[in-house]
Amino acid sequence: MKEFKKILFPVDLSQSSAKIVPFLQSLAGRYGARIHLLFVARVFDYFTSMYVPHPSVSQFEKEVIEGAEKRLYEFADESFKDFPGTKTKVVAGDPSDEILSYIEEHGIDLVVMGTHGRKGLDKVIFGSVAERVVKASPVPVLVVNPFKVSD
């Protein structure tokens, strides 16, 4: 059986992320795995083609990343204090691309991520990060619908 020594948990820092934590803790505990938490801040390059001063967009992105780093550290401390060596990282970019890059760069063995379960027009407009990761990931991906999980 495959050993999962590095588990990636891409988070959006919402209540949905918190609902998935028990699954991740169970898996990491069972396999003695190191947890990697990743938050991807969407880039706002497309605003620069409109009349929005570039420094405003850059400053906003910087503030989003700084805020996300602070919140990610808090989330790690709250949820994974019993898992020493938990790694955290905040990056800017397309979420699915950044998740797939992180898998390759860090030798991840398993991805545990949530899905918003969008359907119809919402899925067409917003897409599905989980779906893109599942289709392109070189490692297994466990997708959890946090809205169907009982507390």
Q: For 71-110, what is each residue's pLDDT tens digit?
A: 999 999 999 999 999 999 999 988 999 999 999 999 999 9
Q: Which helix (H) or strand (E) holds 134?
A: helix 129-136
Long-range contact list for 145-149, CB < 8 A, 24+ apart? 145/114, 145/115, 145/117, 146/15, 146/16, 146/17, 146/19, 146/20, 146/114, 147/16, 147/116, 147/117, 148/117, 149/19, 149/20
pLDDT attached to residue 126: 47
How much is the pTM? 0.85
% of the chain exceeding 90 in pLDDT: 57
Q: Tens digits of per-residue pLDDT, 45-63? A: 555 555 555 566 677 778 8
pLDDT attached to residue 121: 47
| Unique residue bearing structure tokens 């699915």 | 96
